[in-house]
A and B are shown apart, each in its own frame.
Chain A
């Protein structure tokens, strides 16, 4: 057993875990953060994407002990004061989800993408989410949603929307 101290969606945890425990299983099974999902066993699908210290990672490919001392943000930690993140809103408005299984990972990846590139063109969005598989949408509405969220998040568009980077880093 090894100890892991980690902040997840703004809450601090200290747990003993087996060193081999994958971060995604720690989040889902120990912390009950079942919003983060598992779609493959070879790190291809990205359904498990979360933010680790503000950067998107596939949590099936990170050991829980590697997150020791880190801040993890999941899909459950990005709404603030009951208000959805602009990317969450845009996914709803653009019909960018169907079964909803890739959606948490896709939203987390999209937030990371917009942190790096606040105004991506279509090709840049497609490149930015290529590590996330979706079986339902054919991607087009996801691309639209990310670009729509980028519009919402432009400075001055909506004063109360926080930038994606600060959201990625923590979450209340």
Chain B
């Protein structure tokens, strides 16, 4: 089915936040810190306040008077809304100007005089815990160092024993560099406080509108029923639009101060410098194995750079997200990980960019380690995977760190990908090319990279998972109108993933109503049921299940109404899609449309049957869903320049039942492009002073149509046994699975054991000389 939402977007009639125009609306701009770390000695806004078009200037002191200078984060920390004592990263918010138009607001920023006293910054996460390292968070009483948390998972003793007994151990240090989700639409808001009713209406780029309403209420002290959040069309989220940003709260304060609606739209450099980054995991991994490549254990230490405030958006009890799914797709008897988070003078974030709560990092780690194991043992990487993949009969499978994988047929998925790629032929071609290259010194180097990943999506069971104290269940409300069309209201929030279409398909399948006659409502907290929103590929696993179950409740009500219409017992009725008929008499039937009208009519219904056709459901998932995939990447590397060309990319995904195959494939295409971006191009590096070196699209390079090949997709279908329609999430799979395939391919081409992302021409060339760089610091330090 083609997408319903396309109709407006192809005509330029979508409505994004910056398209919102309200009478008397003012515009805001943010003054940001030029320093990574500096004490604020004074802020003089008088000249800006005198600007004829400026209506208000908000400073940290003004917020402090109202108790709003700091806000709680989603990770039990606090973050500065506007800096008061000092700035802790370049680009941090210092003042907020509200003016009559966006040009005047920007003009006025230059009139604000801030006196800074620069302080030595903490930039290299590996130096953050050194004795005498500058303290990022000296405002916290009793804090003596930059440690955010220590967290571990798995059985340390069993893992140590496995390593002690192993025939072979491969070890590898690797960096998953700091990158950024960079949705094409930046973050923004329009806040409007009605001084008469006291009601606050916020149009915002939020992936979790209901959670935002609760947070606004908690932070700003406005009762929740006096707050309406409207997430209109969102121009991509990718995890960037989950949390609260200072600009949102300042716009609310600005609207309160001026009595007018206030719009704030950040520009691209602000988005890259100050909103949620992704990754920044420094990982030391070890893999223990037999000489023939059977994995016996995995041991991992992680240093996680969280920036200046711990603002990671993830379930509260999981400070490193779901990183402990790092045993991946393999039957690993013993595993242990230890993660230490540190503060540095960088923007907060960490969980974003289709990471499924750190599954990107986990998957990259294990897929690199398995390749290094193959490299060290002289084995084919496909064969090493074959020897260790979980077998179908092992599901449900409890891994060494406790996750219970729901289902999978990994060998079948892998073999399909290898067949589609023509793996054996590729290896023959590679050998031929290597031979030619050795003979003549000419030609490109060819590499083949494999990644087999297991995802963990659909957070999650509420007794285990909450965000800011809110359990991760999601609601759905379904109402069938008297004439048979329907409206489905959801707590999730699409940012392009096609919910308006796929959720209509879910209801259509369950009730036999044409999908075009099912309106899907999302994003408006006054019109939708409570729930936690869209991220972590959780819409299909959680809201999808809620929609199915709400539809089935409606169907059972419809059965009672049909029984009254046909004057038979309800259990004598048989459902066939779109109608009930009397058992043994298909001609005695009544359609959903007829039932809908009857349910609203003067039909005499049995006692206890309410009439009308509606139902609600709150779905508390029993487990996550665990989609998987096998990816094969083929690259050509120019040995003279280090330039990488992705020649082919084969992706076989198994997300269980596919609601709309066209949309699934589009999700995969987009995620594969992310993988090429991260593996080859994208990087937020910093210099010694903490200057951000990836703060615009001139420096932060995203793949264009030229870097991406035509994707070659395949599928296997292994339904989730616990999901009402067997569907698993899939949105983030390709972003999780693809970077390792690209990196494995490039390193395979140049015959190098490891080099960190991004594999730019310079980095590839250096790796070929045996001197790959650490990519996160622009100070020339070797890997």
Contacts and interface: CB of A to CB of B under 8 A. Distances in A.
Interface in A30-80: 32-42, 44-45, 47, 74-76, 79
A97 B500 CA distance: 14
B438 interface: no
A100 B182 contact: no
Given A41-B268, A99-B185, A104 B12 contact: yes
Contacts of A34: 12, 15-16, 18-19
A75 B669 contact: no
Most buried by B among A21, A75, A126, A138: A138
Given A88-B11, A98-B670, A100-B14, A37 B185 contact: yes
Contact of A76 (B7, B11, B705): B11
B102 A25 contact: yes
B705 A42 contact: no
Contacts of A84: 10-11
B578 interface: no
Contact of B182 (A20, A107, A129, A135): A135
Contacts of B6: 91-92, 97, 100
B587 interface: no
Given A129-B705, A130-B704, A100 B496 contact: yes
A44 B11 contact: no
Contacts of B140: none
Interface in A85-111: 88, 91-93, 95, 97-104, 107
Interface residues of A, number: 58
Contacts of B710: 122, 140, 143
Contact of A135 (B5, B102, B268, B702): B702
Contacts of B233: 99-100
Interface residues of B, number: 58
The interface residues of chain B, by DSSP majority, are classed as loop
Interface stretch (B38-46, B234-242, B479-487): B234-242
Given A92-B3, A127-B706, A133 B10 contact: no
A6 interface: no
B354 to A, nearest CB: 11
Given A38-B18, A101-B185, A138 B669 contact: yes
Interface in A123-164: 125-127, 129-143
A41 B16 contact: no
Contacts of A172: none
A104 to B, nearest CB: 5
A49 B102 CA distance: 21
Contacts of B236: 98-99, 101, 135-136
A98 B498 contact: yes
B258 interface: no
Given A42-B697, A95-B663, A104-B12, A141 B669 contact: yes
B181 to A, nearest CB: 8
Interface in B667-691: 667-673
B428 interface: no
A112 B16 CA distance: 25
A36 B12 contact: yes
A95 B666 contact: yes
A84 B11 CA distance: 8
A116 interface: no
Contacts of B10: 75, 84, 88, 91-92, 97, 100, 103, 107
Interface of A: 18, 20-21, 25, 28-29, 32-42, 44-45, 47, 74-76, 79, 84, 88, 91-93, 95, 97-104, 107, 122, 125-127, 129-143
Interface of B: 2-3, 5-16, 18-19, 21, 101-103, 182-186, 233-236, 238, 267-269, 495-498, 662-663, 665-673, 696-698, 702, 704-706, 708, 710-711
Given A135-B183, A140-B708, A141-B669, 14 more contacts: A21-B103, A28-B18, A29-B101, A37-B235, A39-B186, A40-B268, A44-B696, A98-B496, A98-B498, A100-B6, A100-B14, A133-B702, A134-B705, A135-B182
26 contacts: A21-B103, A32-B21, A38-B18, A76-B12, A76-B13, A84-B10, A88-B10, A91-B10, A93-B2, A95-B3, A98-B667, A99-B185, A99-B234, A101-B14, A101-B184, A104-B12, A107-B10, A127-B706, A130-B704, A133-B184, A135-B184, A135-B670, A137-B666, A138-B668, A138-B673, A139-B705
